[in-house]
Amino acid sequence: MKLFGFQINREKRGVPSNPSSQVPDAVVGTGGVGLTSLLHGATNGAPMSISAVYCAVSIISNSIASIPIQVRKENSDGFQEVDYKHPLYTIMENNAGQHTQFEMIKYAIQSVLLKGNGFIYLYRDNTGKVADMRWLPSDMVSVVYNTLSNELYYLSPLVSKKKIEPVNMIHLKINSDDGIMGRSVISYAARSLKNANATENSAVNFYDSGCNLNGIIKVQGSLTPQQKQDIRDSWRESMNGNGLAVLQGNMDYTPIQMNVSDAQLIESRQFNVNDIARFFHINPTLLGDLTNSSYNTLEAAQEEFLVHTLLPYITIFEQEMNRKIWTPTEKKMGWNVNMDESSILRTDKKSQSEYYTKLLEKGVLSVNEVRKALGYAEIEGGDKHIVMYSDPDQNSIEDENPNEEQINE
């Protein structure tokens, strides 16, 4: 088409399944764009068949799905109070009757890691409030963006034949080039995955052949074609059967393939783990490579995993949920969704005891607040915040009328 005298070409990344939904001058894409060619072209095999990729995707998605979700509301004092009776808990747990809350979040994060985009559809009632939600496979969602009208909407035959407004679609994305569609981690790691896949195939071929090498059998004198075939069949039969090959006096075997040591197969596989770990921003120790493990405490490893690996995905999920899930009225009331990442930093009982003891002694937490954090019922008189002094009369920080003698001390 022509715009202001200039020829403008359409840019398309895919075609929606419904021809009637095509929009002029629109960028159209699917949540799994380019994945098939990536998997079968660049790596000659699915990335999840590579142990390091499988472990990275599983540990990231499982960890995020395991984080407790809190529905909070800001009170008059500006503090966030958790409402454990909010209907959103039931909606997330029984989303469309298909998956549990854990499964819904796990599949969405897996889609983000492997395909760059994750989708959760929001069903709303007549008042506009979220009544249900459903995770959608990325390959079943088309993203349509009209560059001229700045209109964005979604298409998915699984939930509707009509346009899906952005407010009704939780769209998680990473590595976006245009702010509309995300790009998967594995699309950047295609070369590393190809090398890893080639290394794994080499190992499989080596052991499938009984750890034998290809080579040449030299025979003095000339042989008929039938004799050559007989020798070849005899050699192959003995090798494939892990037997012992016997050469006659006028035969000599010369290998023409590097052995495992020469090819540094083990070192290459170890390097592949570290290389893949870099793309996922995850410490190689969490992928099973303990070569350079240097953590002295569990909390140090967990803190690094939380800050450098999980926190970006947690932030993406929280912000997208809070942007889409609440009505304007609910936003004004101060409702928000929060993922309690402190659950990842749970340590051994001794460290946990020292942590809560210090908070109690400084008056930061009350006894009931600590008991609630540990999953215990509240006790009578446990709501006071105290500071440990030698004089018991000074312990309570809630004493609003200290006497003059206490102040002078």
CA-based nearest residue to 194, from 53, 51, 44: 44
Spans of all domains in the chain: 13-206+259-347, 214-256, 349-398
Q: 87: alpha, beta or left, given left = phi > 0 and alpha = psi -120 to 50?
A: alpha
Strands 80-82 and 117-124: unpaired
Share of the chain above pLDDT 90, in %: 31
Reported as type and span, the H/E element at residue 406 is helix 404-408
Q: Could you read off the pLDDT of 348-397 as tens digits, one per residue?
A: 666 678 788 888 888 888 888 888 877 788 888 888 888 766 555 555 55
CA-based nearest residue to 30, from 114, 154, 174, 179: 154
Supply the Cα-derived Rg of the chain in whole angstroms.
31
Distance (Å, rounded) from C-alpha 129 to C-alpha 123?
8
Residue that the structure tokens 């298909």 belong to: 98
- For 17-150, where are the E strands, in sequence order? 26-30, 69-74, 80-82, 117-124, 130-136, 142-146
* Confidence (pLDDT) at 336: 93
Q: Could you read off the pLDDT of 178-229 as tens digits, one per residue?
A: 889 999 988 887 777 776 666 666 655 655 555 555 667 777 777 788 877 8
Confidence of residue 286 (pLDDT cuts 50, 70, 90): confident
What lies within 8 Å, CB to CB, of 299 at 6+ separation is 345, 347, 351
End-to-end Cα separation, the chain, in angstroms: 85
* Confidence (pLDDT) at 15: 38
Task: Lowest mean pLDDT of 16-20, 71-75, 99-103, 298-302, name the range.
Answer: 16-20
* Confidence (pLDDT) at 78: 73
* Confidence (pLDDT) at 90: 92
* Confidence (pLDDT) at 75: 80
Distance (Å, rounded) from C-alpha 90 to C-alpha 85?
9
Mean pLDDT of the chain: 77
pLDDT higher at 52 or 314: 314
Q: Could you read off the pLDDT of 216-233 as tens digits, one per residue?
A: 777 777 778 887 787 777
Confidence of residue 136 (pLDDT cuts 50, 70, 90): very high
- DSSP reduced 3-state for 69: strand
Residue that the structure tokens 């409030």 belong to: 129
pLDDT higher at 186 or 36: 186
Distance (Å, rounded) from C-alpha 381 to C-alpha 383?
6
What lies within 8 Å, CB to CB, of 144 at 6+ separation is 16, 21, 23, 26, 27, 28, 152, 153, 154, 155, 163
- Edge-to-edge strands of the sheet including 160-164? 26-30, 142-146, 151-156, 160-164
Q: Is the model's pLDDT at 243 over the cut of 70? A: no
Contact 337, 321 (CB under 8 A): yes
Most confident of 97-111, 186-200, 259-273, 377-391: 97-111
Confidence of residue 403 (pLDDT cuts 50, 70, 90): low
What lies within 8 Å, CB to CB, of 401 at 6+ separation is none
